[in-house]
A and B are shown apart, each in its own frame.
Chain A
Amino acid sequence: MTVHPKRSEDVRVLLVKASDGLLSHAEQTTLDGMMRDDPSLAQELDELRDAKDALAPYGVRDPNPVDWERMEKNLVAQGARGLGWLLVGFGSLFLVGAAVSVLIMRPELPLLVRLAGGAIATGLALLTGYVGYGAAQERQRDPYKNVFR
């Protein structure tokens, strides 16, 4: 590779736009002037065009469409289920929390019943934390655990 001095961003931008054929008339005049002062710019422009031309006949291959159908089915079901579970989860936690707090706050109820309510609240909090922590750990270990192959 020919070694060129480090170009300023303005020159790099002009050269890239020139290699893509996107220079305005004013930019073209500026670049022509620069090229007269520094002939190595023309060589550099040719190199940029070479790289562009090498990939010109190609694009990235599209996948088999059957894979999309399967993936879409799984993702959409998961997305829709996800919202359902989220609503059910929050609703249930709220209801249980409200019931337990009513139990605990009523002094006319026997102490044992109130203690049981407190135990349920504590147990729920511990379970939620434990399940959340476990899920986060598992996700960290295997980033593709939900990928359907």
Chain B
Amino acid sequence: MRQPAGVAKTDPEQSDDADAEPTLIRRAQNGDRRSLAALFQNYRGGAYRYCLGMLGDPQESSDIVQEAFEAAFRGLPRLQFERGFGGWFYGILRHLCLASLKQNKHRTSGETLAQLQAPDPSPESHVADRRQRQALAECLAQLTPKQREIIVLRELEGLSYREMAQRLELPEGTIMSRLYDARRALRHLIVKHPRLKARTPRGSA
């Protein structure tokens, strides 16, 4: 699997020490501020990027991340350990994101996407990159929520099939099947987009 270095395809804040999480949760359940802060720090980056990818609206995304943490911290005493904080928290976050998508028309911003490699510093290249990002963000916004979710997790967050299956609590086969639909839908939108037509050399027979 591609694991690019740089902006956001992996979560640099996620703790490597998975064994520490049950301890963190127990302490957080007792109101320990450092443990609450550690849980927040471990999950905030991935949560924000998921929301931003889904909604394309930075302000709404940070509001929903906060709402999800509030709900998660309020419900900590009821947390079932076998599901872990991550599965439970992302369940809340996903529910809030999908509800928000149903309720609102979100502003689609090209600023949602960030280049992983340092861009060419010339002004022309900067403008072209900005337009490209805006166009791609528009295509992402036209996908169904389920298609967008799968594209965000795979293409933008760089999660493996197994990680996606855990996050969405679905079998890996279903994840790959959904990814097939989502990629085809995205490719269809890219081919139709006036500013992106030129960039589909392979499958445009």
Partner of B183, one of A52, A83, A143: A52
Partner of A78, one of B73, B116, B155, B191: B73
- Residues in A whose Cβ lies below 8 Å from that of B203: 2, 43-44, 46-50
Q: Does A9 contact B (CB under 8 A)?
A: yes
Q: Mark B70-81, 1 if CB is under 8 A from A, else 0.
A: 100110100000
Docked Cα-Cα span, A135 to B9, in Å, equals: 39
Asked if A16 and B111 make an inter-chain contact with CB atoms under 8 angstroms apart, the answer reads no
Among B139-198, those with CB < 8 Å from A are: 151-152, 155-158, 173, 176-177, 179-181, 183-184, 186-188, 190-191, 196
Docked Cα-Cα span, A43 to B41, in Å, equals: 44
Interface residues on A, range: 35 or more
Contacts A55-B156, A80-B36 given: A16-B202 contact, CB under 8 Å? no
Partner of B136, one of A16, A55, A75, A82: A55
- Residues in B whose Cβ lies below 8 Å from that of A2: 203, 205
Interface residues of B, count at CB 8 A: 73
Docked Cα-Cα span, A67 to B156, in Å, equals: 22
Interface pairs (23), CB distance under 8 Å: A1-B184, A1-B191, A7-B180, A13-B177, A15-B180, A48-B180, A51-B186, A54-B196, A58-B113, A58-B114, A59-B6, A60-B52, A60-B114, A60-B156, A61-B7, A61-B52, A61-B112, A62-B7, A67-B62, A75-B73, A78-B73, A79-B73, A143-B96
> Knowing that A48-B184, A76-B33 are A-B contacts, what are 10 other residue pairs whose CB atoms are under 8 Å apart, sorted by A's residue number?
A13-B176, A15-B180, A50-B204, A54-B187, A55-B156, A58-B133, A59-B157, A60-B8, A72-B44, A79-B31
